[in-house]
Amino acid sequence: MADNSTTDRQGWVEALDRLTKGREGQDVTIEVLDRSFGDQTEAERLPFAYTSYDPKDDVVIVAVGGRSSSHPVVLRHMVPHPSEVDVDLDTGALRAVEQDGTTTIVSFFPPAGG
């Protein structure tokens, strides 16, 4: 994942905007790897809405759903105070690490029939 990483917060804004434009509507899975609570799947193969970095609140947001009658509600996963964000625009992989080491991994799936 080399398109954008580490602590370049302005780079995060740009990379996450490009990821949103390039992957909107694809299905995603959101996994959270947490030392205290264990590994958990928060969303599995739901339609991707957007991702962004809010520098004011220092949070990465990944949103799914909210665009169809089958998924009418938007689920927002928040990564507060990230210490690292890696985006691979080729594969659509996103990894965000919180200061406590909790890691969020967002995986994209090709569109059906594609």
pLDDT of residue 2: 44
CATH, range 9-108: 2.70.180
pLDDT band at 22 (very low <50, low <70, confident <90, very high): very high
Rounded CA separation 24/47 (Å): 8
pLDDT of residue 113: 57
- Higher-confidence residue of 91 and 51: namely 51
Q: Taking residues 11-18, report their average pLDDT.
A: 94
pLDDT of residue 1: 42
pLDDT of residue 85: 95
Rounded CA separation 98/60 (Å): 10
How does strand 93-98 pair with strand 27-34?
Answer: unpaired
Contacts with 82 (C-beta within 8 Å, 6 or more apart), sequence order? 12, 53, 58, 59, 60, 96, 97, 98, 99
For 24, 27, 60, 92, 112, the CA distances from 50, given in Å and listed in that order, are 7, 11, 11, 12, 19
pLDDT of residue 114: 54
Q: Taking residues 95-109, report their average pLDDT.
A: 94
List the chain domain ranges. 9-108
Helix (H) or strand (E) holding 105, with range, is: strand 103-109
| C-beta neighbour count of 19 within 10 angstroms | 25
Full-model pTM: 0.86
Q: Taking residues 43-60, report their average pLDDT.
A: 95
